[in-house]
Structure 1
């Protein structure tokens, strides 16, 4: 028996129950989004290198400049007339495309094309040899339409000779680019002025003829391009047509073509665009491409608006966005806005939490899980599969563990203020049969890519290995354990208690909390009975000494609690020493009863009638000579919350004042209060049964309390809670709330009581700062329900650290015990209120 293990504890079995074999300990990490723009396939900023002519906007770029400095620029767009590519029949100028394309491809980028047959910058966008071969056409002048002596020539877009020659060109074009993995998309640009699908400024065809031509040209492109995405301009059905009568675009949708808007900001707001509704037909299944008006033209008419551009990305669910102007000018003028748009454009696959065992046995199955969210505006249309890769100290690949059970294209994008998430748990084996895998410690990397574990997609994470794998932790690979069902091997390790291998979560920028470390300190398998209600208190007068306890309860949630199990630690929970019982005086700060009050000579009005729920809130010091105790009073089945102001003396607490009480008319009212003081203000949070938690403030040291306010986010949106306690972590500069809440991923968890969160409190508005929310105890799947956490306890242990303890408490009769967790909140600045809060004063009882 190891000396840091209680006599009630038994050696771990290897959990070989003819099923999953896994070490009981596991770490969970919540990676931080780096905020970087991602260079991923199927999305990004698009540089208009050729733009209806060979000149703009790549002519200023050096051969070595492929806009690697422009955040999120993945694609070079080559919009060029047919005549420039095939000046003579069958003679192609492919270098016109290959040269700029390779500049982008060389750095991992993509290329996109539009080949047009009608331009006003070139009198012959369709090669002259096509006309000489017998193709019919029409001359026209810009804006005025057909004219016998017109400057420009358009083909008859249904002329047999023209279609034959175009078919031949597209066949040659497709031989190079259809299915080419370096091609992002190809526009259907063979009809209309600039390839935009209209003739209203050129040959002015009747609408019926335009629709007939467009459908024919769609079919011609679909015939040749069976693997590379095709796109069509929204102008094919009228640039400002809001009627929903969109025969061409609906036909394109049926033929597998995607949507391109040509263009935003041709007019100023409120007519900056018209077809976000049209785009909604396409965005569920294929990427949306947005093009803006030429930057210099949009700014000239004062139509350019970066806030509107970001809104367009949101409204259209855009995957691609044009750089339609001189890139250096646009970037210099709008650097910050471009960075913000890059974080939303397309998809952004983010692992919100990763859980992986501390130790795995070579060849034996184990489980690992990832909670994924797509924080971009568009689906990951190309999909991808998550994989863990284990690497040794030399960077060698030890094991590749691919999860083919879930394609990340199924993740819903984050739109409308929502961030849907999916938790996937999969079983893996390291070194099963082969290759040879030696015991040792290995780095764990996470990636997304092909089914075979080849990384393809960039994630917004740090510690990239250069191949789009991201280091997230370490694992010990141990020798295989062989045992029969239900039998512990003779050499099985004993349960090791204490804080080790924590999951680390960085605090939000501006949060009081700099970092959070969370770990299981008592695994559920380490004891026979179900243990809940963990608590800890610092030992007065003994620097660094802490007592911890948890108690036995029933498995059905009937609150039939039994004996306490008490431990001591002097090294920050790295080890736990079992105690026969609590140290006298340590636990006097909580479970206050009327008998603890020194009431001789005290007016009756200052003495509370009862002291309910003091088990969930120790008294606090508001100054060296005054304490504040939250409690409840019960009338029938209804609770009210209030506070007692008292003076500590060697003979007990002398009551000074009983505050006003607050309740509500739902269920049991308000109960399980917790109080905190910041400066001269006091705050109380309470549990309720109306779908909320409540907070109230006192400006006079807890003597009177303002009306309870439901907890909300700083946006004003309610924080939905399901009959759950809340507690404060107190710092001299403010408060952090500890809580559970209703989320999309915890509907099956008892009262939505997992995961456990923290968030900073806005003391001015009594709301939670949503950007600071962090998970400190993760949601752990089990039996299709997940492990809810029970009551939790919050206590300051030093000027730099406040601890939170909780136990997983299933309440449904399942035979497994939950783990007991410790989360250490490390403050960004030392907590100058620490000494008063823990009561290291001569006046403390």
Structure 2
């Protein structure tokens, strides 16, 4: 075999040049072991400059190669490669050696791989200044020729963020939290004073549930003032909305406008329970006259509100008492699943850009299990959220679903929340107190415990306390703060990872570990931005790709990885790095102190050197 070269070609080339080497002996000699020790120290020294690219144990190292630096820097890179055995093939040999791909290099024989196979892969390397190549080459070649070698990559800089976590502050983040029933089955409940609603921490959504007749008292004469007046007042304050338009109410003789009946729609008056309000008219839910006018009304509502940035979701609520899908306080007649599906489709056509929520009873009331599951699957396949109305009703809590804390269909929630949000409405707060299912401050005697267990099953993104704002907050101050944070996502920064040094014009890889202590993951994609600030105060904002917080499952930690393209003009020096996530322009707040995340949402993740 020829001796190693001591002079390296000056010509720049992207192809690697093989350095011949002696066959590997079965056992390294003492001198070889010493040279390997020198090699290890040399690599460690080079690694201090952030240049070792990957690691792996080489069971059969085959050669050392000189190749141009991928960044075009005037240095060459030593690449350690292995020779695959003919029997195993190129890819299998690489896997057997337990090494990761770094860059393609020509094999030691100077020939490429057999047709159809991958080229030999380099698994380690570091730049070597031209003046020092000869001095470094000989001991490295000798060391690798005689013994297995482990090349260690320089570990990235890991920043522990746990010391700055803060679970006391209530985080008011987009697309999650508590909501207030502003209009609930009528205009009398619960339009609390503005200052009372604003005092509820973590409550930034107003829910409007009103009958169709409030909006269209005469054919074609639409009055949207009930919604529009609230939107004008509350959206500038940062509040969002959700709706339900109902066609049967216990407090209205005509939730469906009377003119629909006069136009020929079939239906009847029912008062199944003397304790529940008016002798109300209930339409036949698939009557063609009723459906014709309902479709026109929903299309008009969609033209006005569909896709509005302040509209979080719309309930599918055009069947049954209060729009819940059951007729328990009316005719108690079964509604076929094909009729229910028709109503779902009416909403899908009217609100194609707005999330729709379906109530569990809408799919299940007086419907066989298999049929109700088919209808639920249909709604879920078309992107519908799942909602449960009035958790904490005394009969359901003590009898109907006592083992699941009044959650009638926990399996449906388990099937929904990994992909779509769920919405929970508590029983009317006053009724819970009267029935005894809620007792004591913060529900300490009864209430808070079953509620937490029910929420563990439902994993809601939105939760309505269903009562007067001042009364609820006065009697449940600590629990309100807990529910505000745990409803939806609640993200705690644990760890960040950055390279020690980077070069302009390259991609900066980063990692952020978050723990989600909320009941649900984030469901919407966020915009991630990296801000670099120099010692002189110059700031550069860069878009980050790959960081997807939707991977943050509840009760778990997730490592989010991404990268940002550094500009060629980025000045050398030390820069501080911060991340900001936003949804529709609103910054995402993390559970950490202001020292770690500032008021504008920038989360400090460390420092790095630009070479």
Q: 1:458 aligns with which of 570, 577, 589?
A: 589
Aligned to 1:282: 416
1:136 aligns with 2:278: no
Deviation at 1:163, TM superposition (A): 1.1
1:320 aligns with 2:320: no
Aligned to 1:127: 257
Which string of whole-angstrom CA distances, capped at 9 and with x for unpartnered residues, describes residues 414-433 of structure 1?
1xxxx2x3334444343335
Deviation at 1:323, TM superposition (A): 1.8
SS in 2 for 1:67: helix
Aligned to 1:34: 166
Deviation at 1:80, TM superposition (A): 0.6
1:469 aligns with 2:598: no
Deviation at 1:210, TM superposition (A): 4.4
Contact map agreement 1:455 1:467 (CA 8 A) in 2: no
1:291 aligns with 2:421: no
SS in 1 for 2:264: coil
TM-score, with length taken from structure 2: 0.67
SS in 2 for 1:346: coil
Deviation at 1:237, TM superposition (A): 4.6
| Separation in structure 1 between the aligned mates of residue 44 and residue 315 of structure 2, nearest angstrom | 69
CA 237–171 in structure 1, closer or farther in 2 if over 3 Å, else same = closer
Which string of whole-angstrom CA distances, capped at 9 and with x for unpartnered residues, describes residues 273-318 of structure 1?
3222222222221111111110000110111201211111111111
Which string of whole-angstrom CA distances, capped at 9 and with x for unpartnered residues, describes residues 418-454 of structure 1?
x2x3334444343335xxx44565442222246xx96
SS in 1 for 2:254: coil
Which string of whole-angstrom CA distances, capped at 9 and with x for unpartnered residues, describes residues 102-133 of structure 1?
44422323100001011121111111222232
Q: 1:99 aligns with which of 222, 229, 250?
A: 229
Contact map agreement 1:447 1:455 (CA 8 A) in 2: no
Unaligned runs of 5+ in 1: 1-5, 482-845
Q: 1:400 aligns with which of 526, 529, 542?
A: 542
Q: If each structure's strand is expressed as a fraction of its own residues, which one has the higher value?
A: 1
CA 455–265 in structure 1, closer or farther in 2 if over 3 Å, else same = closer
CA 10–211 in structure 1, closer or farther in 2 if over 3 Å, else same = closer
SS in 1 for 2:206: strand
1:156 aligns with 2:289: no
CA 353–242 in structure 1, closer or farther in 2 if over 3 Å, else same = farther
CA 313–153 in structure 1, closer or farther in 2 if over 3 Å, else same = same
1:214 aligns with 2:357: no
| Separation in structure 1 between the aligned mates of residue 175 and residue 588 of structure 2, nearest angstrom | 10
CA 339–242 in structure 1, closer or farther in 2 if over 3 Å, else same = farther
CA 88–469 in structure 1, closer or farther in 2 if over 3 Å, else same = farther
| Separation in structure 1 between the aligned mates of residue 273 and residue 296 of structure 2, nearest angstrom | 31
Q: 2:449 aligns with which of 286, 293, 307?
A: 307
Aligned to 2:332: 204
| Separation in structure 2 between the aligned mates of residue 351 and residue 385 of structure 1, nearest angstrom | 17
Aligned to 2:146: none
Q: If each structure's helix is expressed as a fraction of its own residues, which one has the higher value?
A: 2
| Separation in structure 1 between the aligned mates of residue 534 and residue 232 of structure 2, nearest angstrom | 35
Aligned to 1:272: 406
SS in 2 for 1:274: coil
Deviation at 1:168, TM superposition (A): 1.0
Matches within 5 A, 1:774-785: none
Aligned to 1:373: 515
Which string of whole-angstrom CA distances, capped at 9 and with x for unpartnered residues, describes residues 694-743 of structure 1?
xxxxxxxxxxxxxxxxxxxxxxxxxxxxxxxxxxxxxxxxxxxxxxxxxx
SS in 2 for 1:139: strand
Unaligned runs of 5+ in 2: 1-40, 54-68, 74-152, 439-446
SS in 2 for 1:115: strand
Contact map agreement 1:27 1:358 (CA 8 A) in 2: no
Contact map agreement 1:191 1:213 (CA 8 A) in 2: no
| Separation in structure 2 between the aligned mates of residue 83 and residue 8 of structure 1, nearest angstrom | 79
In the alignment of these two chains, the number of paired residues is 453
SS in 1 for 2:454: helix
CA 354–91 in structure 1, closer or farther in 2 if over 3 Å, else same = same
Deviation at 1:256, TM superposition (A): 2.6
Contact map agreement 2:178 2:483 (CA 8 A) in 1: no
CA 238–441 in structure 1, closer or farther in 2 if over 3 Å, else same = same
CA RMSD of aligned residues (A): 3.3
Matches within 5 A, 1:687-836: none
Which string of whole-angstrom CA distances, capped at 9 and with x for unpartnered residues, describes residues 319-365 of structure 1?
11112011121112112122222332212233310123455443344
Deviation at 1:235, TM superposition (A): 2.0
Which string of whole-angstrom CA distances, capped at 9 and with x for unpartnered residues, describes residues 123-182 of structure 1?
11111222232222212224279xxxx832122221222111111111111112222221
| Separation in structure 2 between the aligned mates of residue 240 and residue 104 of structure 1, nearest angstrom | 39
Aligned to 2:579: 446
| Separation in structure 2 between the aligned mates of residue 470 and residue 110 of structure 1, nearest angstrom | 26
CA 16–472 in structure 1, closer or farther in 2 if over 3 Å, else same = closer
1:232 aligns with 2:358: yes
Contact map agreement 2:266 2:284 (CA 8 A) in 1: yes
Aligned to 2:51: 15
Aligned to 1:246: 372
Contact map agreement 1:385 1:408 (CA 8 A) in 2: no
